[in-house]
Amino acid sequence: MATTLFAAENVVLAPLSGYTDPAFRHACRGQGCVRAFTPLVDAGSLLFGSARSTGILQRAADEPWLGVQLLASCPETLTRAAGMLAPHEFDVVDLNLGCPVPKVTRRGAGAALGAQSDLAAKCLDALVAACRCPVTAKIRVQSPTDPAPTVRLALKLQDAGAAGLTVHGRVWEQVYSGPVAVLVVRAVQEALRIPVIANGGVFDLTTAREIRDLTGCPGVMVARGAIGNPWIYRELLTGDTRPPPHEEVCAVIETHVRMMVEYSGEEVGIRNARKIILAYLCGRGYRRARRNAMSHLSTLREFDALMKILRDEGPSHHFDPVHDLPAFRRNLLGFTSRWRVE
């Protein structure tokens, strides 16, 4: 089952905390995404019955494939959390060894656990023993120039039973910006017998092709490139680089937000939807006043009223989606040099 996650030409939706709920995944699946993850799940919160953590595990009836990613730094915690996942029938359970957020790394989880290869291997071994489905891991490169420590970590995870590996090509300190260490990712891909997916810096067809060529990985994982842009899956899977028309953008936003309200209720759904709506509108030529208004939404009625104005008004006539949107996305992601190939 895990091999399907790493099939050639795969484009996988990353586990994005605060984003990849059923509504987000539905938008991406509408553009061709098949393999997706829930948001990151804190194993400890799951054990203590956090409503938010249990809600993250929701799977829509029409989802063909879904993985879940667990965060913890204790083998026993992961074993107990895996038992709570059993009723949900996930296709893959993934161990997070790459989250760079301080509140995570301060307690030895995420990227901090990835820096402790022996403990990381013990945690993965515990998951393998407790899970009925394949277990994978998502790591970061340990050095931007020296492949040895990353390969060492990857080999230990492979020996512990990992069915596959995703490698984010940036070190912990880079967080999500700066060049991707493609040659380090390539070294991991060449050293392992299990399949490897490349992650980091994929936000259009050009960058996806570049990272595949430079790393040798047949599959890529898309993270921030999908926020506000589910059409990236159509682009990567079919080669269609045309930006979506205004009418389609509005329709996808409306469906996305209404699904968020359906799953979370109006108050929480609309509050969480603000950043989603802004991501859809940002860089597509919509007036600043409309974007600002969306950031203060509190009810579904307000959303409907603003969407009517947005539909009628459309993007600024000064905006050229063919030329302006790709340039905007490059600037947004802050790439001065995409790949580290020294």
- Using an 8 Å Cβ cutoff, are 136 and 165 in contact? yes
For residues 186 and 154, what is the distance between their CA atoms, to the nearest angstrom? 12
Per-residue pLDDT, 7: 58
State pLDDT tens for residues 179-194.
899 999 999 999 999 9
For residues 233 and 226, what is the distance between their CA atoms, to the nearest angstrom? 8
Question: Has residue 36 been placed in a domain?
Answer: yes
Question: Has residue 296 been placed in a domain?
Answer: yes
Token digits of residue 153: 């970590």
Q: Do both 151 and 253 map to the same domain?
A: no
Per-residue pLDDT, 335: 43
Q: Do both 78 and 138 map to the same domain?
A: yes
Q: Provide the pairing of β-strand 135-140 with 165-168.
A: parallel
Question: Has residue 32 been placed in a domain?
Answer: yes
Return the CATH number at 88.
Answer: 3.20.20.70
Last residue of a domain, one of 212, 238, 264: 238
Q: Do both 39 and 161 map to the same domain?
A: yes
For residues 324 and 309, what is the distance between their CA atoms, to the nearest angstrom? 23
Q: Has 74 been annotated as catalytic?
A: no
Per-residue pLDDT, 336: 41
**223 secondary structure, DSSP code:** S
For residues 234 and 165, what is the distance between their CA atoms, to the nearest angstrom? 24
Instruction: Note down the domain range covering 180.
Output: 2-238
Q: Do both 308 and 199 map to the same domain?
A: no
The answer to whether residue 25 scores a pLDDT higher than 70 is yes
State pLDDT tens for residues 278-334.
999 988 989 888 888 888 999 999 999 999 999 999 987 665 656 666 555 554 444
How many structural domains comprise the chain? Answer: 2
For residues 288 and 294, what is the distance between their CA atoms, to the nearest angstrom? 10
Query: Of 28, 33, 99, 250, which one is the catalytic site residue?
Result: 99
Q: Do both 119 and 207 map to the same domain?
A: yes
The model carries a pTM of 0.90
Nearest one of 241, 240, 189, 238 to 212, comparing CA atoms:
189
Token digits of residue 238: 């079919």
Question: Has residue 320 been placed in a domain?
Answer: no
Q: Helix, strand or coil for residue 60?
A: coil
Question: Has residue 61 been placed in a domain?
Answer: yes
Question: Has residue 324 been placed in a domain?
Answer: no
Last residue of a domain, one of 238, 273, 298: 238
Question: Has residue 334 been placed in a domain?
Answer: no
For residues 195 and 203, what is the distance between their CA atoms, to the nearest angstrom? 22
Q: Do both 221 and 253 map to the same domain?
A: no
Q: DSSP letters of 139-170?
A: EE-S-SS--HHHHHHHHHHHHTT-S-EEEESS
Q: Do both 113 and 8 map to the same domain?
A: yes
State pLDDT tens for residues 195-254.
999 999 999 999 999 999 999 998 999 999 999 999 999 999 999 999 999 999 999 999
What's the average model confidence in pLDDT over 44-59?
80
Last residue of a domain, one of 238, 260, 295: 238
Q: Do both 115 and 161 map to the same domain?
A: yes
**334 secondary structure, DSSP code:** T
Token digits of residue 19: 């984003």
- Using an 8 Å Cβ cutoff, are 12 and 36 in contact? yes
State pLDDT tens for residues 109-148.
999 999 999 999 999 999 999 999 999 999 999 999 999 9
For residues 300 and 307, what is the distance between their CA atoms, to the nearest angstrom? 10
Q: Do both 289 and 259 map to the same domain?
A: yes
Per-residue pLDDT, 279: 94
**Please, which pLDDT band fits residue 1 given cuts at 50, 70 and 90?**
very low
Question: Has residue 323 been placed in a domain?
Answer: no
Q: Do both 148 and 217 map to the same domain?
A: yes
For the CA atoms of the chain, what is the radius of gyration? 20
Per-residue pLDDT, 198: 96
Token digits of residue 266: 């109006």
- Using an 8 Å Cβ cutoff, are 48 and 72 in contact? no
Q: Do both 80 and 202 map to the same domain?
A: yes
Q: What is the 3-class SS of 68-123, one letter each residue? A: EEEECCCHHHHHHHHHHHHHHCCCEEEEEECCCCHHHHCCCCCHHHHCCHHHHHHH
Q: Which of 9-13, 185-189, 273-277 shows the lowest per-residue confidence on average (mean pLDDT)?
A: 9-13
Q: Helix, strand or coil for residue 284?
A: coil
Nearest one of 331, 333, 273, 336 to 302, comparing CA atoms:
273
Q: Do both 299 and 176 map to the same domain?
A: no
Helices (H), ranges, the chain = 2-5, 22-29, 43-47, 51-56, 75-85, 102-105, 111-114, 117-130, 148-159, 182-191, 205-215, 232-238, 246-264, 266-281, 288-294, 300-313, 321-333
Nearest one of 203, 241, 206, 238 to 221, comparing CA atoms:
203
